[in-house]
């Protein structure tokens, strides 16, 4: 379940920092009862960016398959071996 805290709680920076490090989800900050910001640890941020990059690559690959832009496995391996003299 996501953590939601009011903006006034950001005054205690060490506690918020610890909360971010212990949480495996972003922490939502509210202002006057409405969503205002999201904070997370650097590790979680890097993980989210990595997963986004993977999703983008998979979507690109699926589009290539739908468009018929594919090669046979043997032809691909042969082309790679010729290109890199392997």
DSSP string for residues in 26-67: -EEEEETTEEEEEE--HHHHHHHHHHHHHHHHHHHHHHHHHH
Residue 60 has pLDDT above 90, yes or no: yes
Per-residue pLDDT, averaged over 11-39, amounts to: 95
Share of the chain above pLDDT 90, in %: 83
pLDDT bin (cut points 50, 70, 90) of residue 59 is very high
Average pLDDT, integer, range 71-86: 90
7: pLDDT confidence band, cut at 50, 70 and 90? Answer: very high
> If one looks up domain 3-40 in CATH, what number appears?
3.40.1620.10
């Amino acid at each position: 379940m996501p953590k939601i805290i009011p903006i006034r709680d950001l005054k205690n920076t060490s506690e918020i920092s610890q909360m971010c490090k212990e949480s495996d989800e972003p922490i939502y900050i509210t202002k006057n009862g409405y969503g205002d910001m999201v904070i997370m640890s650097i590790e979680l941020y890097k993980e989210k960016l990595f997963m986004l990059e993977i999703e983008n690559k998979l979507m690109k690959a699926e589009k290539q398959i739908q468009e018929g832009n594919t090669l046979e496995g043997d032809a691909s391996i042969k082309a790679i071996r010729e290109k890199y003299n392997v």
